[in-house]
Amino acid sequence: MTTTTRTITIPSQLDPVAVFGPVDEVIRQVEHAFPDLTIIVRGDRVAIVSHSKSTESQASRAEDVIHTIIQAAYSAPMDADTVRRLLDQDVLPNKVRAEHPGYGRSAERGRASLGAARSGDARKPRIPGVITFAAGQPVRAKTAGQIAYVNAVDAHTITFAIGPAGTGKTYLAVAKAVRAFQDRRIRRIILTRPAVEAGENLGFLPGTLNDKVDPYLRPLYDALSDMLGPDQLHRYLDDGTIEVAPLAYMRGRTLNDAYVILDEAQNTTEQQMKMFLTRLGFNTTMIITGDVTQVDLAVPRSGLATIEGILGGIDDIAFAHLDAGDVVRHELVGRIVEAYDRHDATRARRNRGKESREDAQ
């Protein structure tokens, strides 16, 4: 019996966990598709062991699939479900594909995509794949609005994400920042939000300045902790690689080589929004998120509410609008958002009617 081993090494620019998924769940799909082979993962290396000449062709195909997975990881890492679909479409015999719904032409498209990726000519997919992992689960765009949002971030220097609560605006923005940092495309992640209370007065908060502003920034810490783990997050916070700070800390700075996220931007004034946007430096991406229906400011106009009228049409600035259909929390959240939208629309119609009657008098 002839035994041969093919060894594949993951490039140093890639994180093995991002390539093969938590607990190697992605590579296990390849192993399942080729049961006559032995596939071993150790650190950044994968060994494909063929135990006979008859399985050499399978080993070659498995090697191609793994190279495809590695190549995809540079832009949009594949998750286990994506790899399983590709393998089903590429490995199963024609008779099996014909007898199972969901194959046919879609399988042919899948094989064509796989072949393009193997040739190295595949462009970045229009539908983004896994961005990163949070608590062992893949983070990716799930709705049409989220897909448009993520694609806008990839294609523009500044992206505004405007939509109701629960649409993943902040979480996806943090995921994109973490991915860029892990790929070494930027050196820092800076997350900021206005220190504005949501209609309540929290009163005096004890402790240092950081202790006082932490309650306002907790959602950002939570997202980072999910994706990096608490220990790694603390290290990056301690050495300044990741900075989570109130918006007032941005004044007078130029932010280079960074991913900068402004959250809850509906609570900025027009002057604060201008101040933040003009911090943009070289090799920096900015994402601004907010919901114009949840303004907690006691000022006439929100900086987010007016920004599209000011900057709309400028190259390299994108506006992604999400709605109740993009809510990814409990389905009841989507219904609540829709109910409030209907209420606001009804109240606006009543106000217009009242103004018209007053003008007529």
pLDDT at 302: 87
Q: Looking at residues 66-80, what average pLDDT do you find? A: 81
Residue type, 95: K
Ranked by mean pLDDT, which of 90-94, 126-130, 153-157, 328-332 comes out on top? 153-157
Nearest residue to 249 (alpha-carbon basis) of 227, 221, 217, 223: 217
Q: Looking at residues 202-212, what average pLDDT do you find? A: 58
More confident residue, 220 or 296: 220
| CATH class belonging to 135-329 | alpha beta
Coil, helix or strand for 117? helix
Q: Looking at residues 288-295, what average pLDDT do you find? A: 88
Structure confidence by residue, pLDDT tens digits, 221-258: 888 999 998 899 999 999 999 998 888 888 889 999 99
- 134 backbone φψ class: left, alpha, beta (φ>0; ψ -120 to 50): beta
> Residue 98 in contact with residue 46, Cβ under 8 Å?
no
Q: ∠317-318-321 over CA atoms, to 5°?
A: 150
CA atoms within 13 A on the CB side of 165: 13
pLDDT at 259: 96
Helix extents (H) in the chain: 16-20, 25-33, 56-72, 80-91, 94-99, 105-119, 144-155, 169-182, 209-228, 230-238, 270-277, 303-311, 331-360
Q: Write phi, then psi, for 301 (nearest 5 degrees).
A: -135, 140
pLDDT at 290: 92
pTM of the model: 0.61
Nearest residue to 153 (alpha-carbon basis) of 184, 182, 175: 175
CATH number listed for the domain at residues 4-119: 3.30.1370.10
CA atoms within 13 A on the CB side of 269: 7
- 9 backbone φψ class: left, alpha, beta (φ>0; ψ -120 to 50): beta
> To which residue do tokens 């650190």 refer?
43
**How far apart are the C-alpha atoms of 347 and 355, rounded to whole Å?**
12
Q: Looking at residues 169-184, what average pLDDT do you find? A: 92
Structure confidence by residue, pLDDT tens digits, 295-350: 866 656 789 999 999 999 899 999 999 988 888 766 677 677 778 778 877 877 78
